[in-house]
Amino acid sequence: MRQSLLIVISVLCFACNPNVKEKINTVGEKAGEVVGEAAKGVSRGIENAFEITIQKKDSVALRDISFGKILLSDSGGTDNKLSVYIIFHADMNRTMTIKVFDNAELEIGRARTTVSAKKDDATYVDFLFDPHTNMDRDHKFIIE
């Protein structure tokens, strides 16, 4: 009985000590920060691994654009719609073509759209490919 009472009193004294509570909270916060940073790092790594990039074919007109977000979406059961956020650094009124190549460097599709924009405009431009074109994020995309 005495031993149980001694243990209970020791635990209460230990738990009531503000320094001990503060240290426990600090350790918990640090552990939470480490786990949070690790999760962010994994998330960034996954995003980078699945990031779509578009190469520009060397053209004077294409020097006046840059890209923001690029989205690959479903249209009719296959990933055949590419939405590209384009930032225009000069007035533009032209037809753009995007060609897609698979991992074996074989062309698997191309899509055209007419783009009309003023300098400093920015908008999503949709390129709709043939329904047979099933694109993956690791395919090569070239804009002309």
**How much of the chain, in percent, has pLDDT values that exceed 70?**
61
Backbone angles phi, psi at 122, to 5 degrees: -150, 130
pLDDT tens-digit series, residues 57-110 = 777 668 899 999 999 887 666 678 999 999 999 999 999 999 999 999 999 999
Of 1-15, 33-47, 129-143, highest mean pLDDT: 129-143
Q: Regarding predicted confidence, which is higher, 63 or 125? A: 125
Q: In 1-144, where do the E strands start and end?
A: 54-56, 65-74, 79-88, 92-101, 107-117, 122-128, 140-143
| Among 108, 113, 70, residue whose Cα is nearest residue 93 | 113
Range with the poorest average pLDDT among 46-50, 59-63, 103-107, 112-116:
46-50
Whole-prediction pTM value? 0.62
Candidates 140, 126, 109, 16; CA nearest to 73 is 126
